[in-house]
Amino acid sequence: MTNCKNCGTDIISNFCPNCGQPAVLKRIDAHYIVHEIEHVLHFERGILYTIRELFTTPGKNVRNYLSENRSRLVKPVIFIIVTSLIYSIVSHYFHVEDKYVSYYESLHSTTGAMYLWIQNHYGYANIIMGIFIAFWTKIFFKKYGFNLFEIIILLCFTLGMSMLIYTFFAILEGATDKNVTVLSSIIGMLYCVWSIGQFFDPHKTVGYLKALSAYILGCITFTIAVFTIGSTIDLIFH
């Protein structure tokens, strides 16, 4: 009999009866790394499956995730972080955002530093911006009864897909040397508006107008918050 290295419970089998920790940990090898990656990305259904479902019927699939089945899609927070990482890698490889990085570095301010952090941590920044958009979405779609956290889940999936749209255009810009930043921003925004509108009521035009308003106001208030915090810090400490 041995004691569990995790919780100290006596172990008489291959696993701890209290916490499930293996009695003997297997050595980390290539198989272990592959298994961990598969577990994180939920490859039993697949991130590609999630992308396909969110590309075709995002509203229906997110509603299903919230109320019926949470095993079909990749976890929303993991999804937005992974898709944002993919975009960061692609944009860095093709030097898509070098001009913006140079601009923010030239500001020599807390605000500039915050925007640089956002560019270097798109996954976390998207989650934060999603909270702002979710706040306005909650206001515009209050009668539907979804709470703020459920709407944040919607935004994690939606903004994650928008990052893949930006990734596609980053590859296109890197391959053709044509500036398609504005086009990618418009299409990314339209996808978000379509996804939010479809989630609440796909048959009402006013729903898409509300989604557009929530998205724009969310982005504006997020930008204002960053600028306000950065400017306040500069005023206090400089």
pTM of the model: 0.78
Residue 22 in domain = no
Q: Which long-range contacts (CB under 8 A, 24 or more apart) does 232-237 make?
A: 233/110, 234/109, 234/110, 234/111
Average pLDDT value for residue range 63-85: 89
| Mean pLDDT in residue range 94-116 | 66
Could you read off the pLDDT of 166-207 as tens digits, one per residue?
999 989 988 888 888 889 989 999 999 999 999 999 999 999
d(CA 223, CA 4): 49
What token pair was written down for 77? 């927070």
The shares of helix, strand and coil residues in the chain, as percent rounded to the nearest 5, are 75, 5, 25
Instruction: Please state the rounded mean pLDDT for residues 152-174.
Output: 93
Q: Looking at this protein, which amino acid is placed at residue 44?
A: E
Q: Which is higher by pLDDT, 26 or 158?
A: 158
- pLDDT band of residue 38 (cuts 50, 70, 90) is low
CB 14 within 8 A of CB 7: no
Residue 41 lies in a domain: no
Does the structure show a pLDDT above 90 at 120? Answer: no
Which residues on adjacent β-strands are paired with residue 22? Answer: 15
Range of the domain at 217: 47-237
Residue 103 above 50 pLDDT? Answer: no
| 35 in any annotated domain | no
The verdict on residue 124 lying in a domain is: yes
Specify if 181 maps to a domain.
yes
3 within domain boundaries: no
In a domain, 38, yes or no: no
The answer as to whether 177 is a domain residue is: yes
The structural domain count of the chain equals 1
Cα–Cα dist 133/98, whole Å: 27
Residues 105-115, mean pLDDT to the nearest whole number: 73
Q: Which residues have C-beta within 8 Å of that of residue 43, sequence separation ≥ 6?
A: 37
Lowest mean pLDDT among 25-39, 59-73, 138-152, 189-203: 25-39
Count of beta carbons in the 10 Å neighbourhood of residue 71: 9
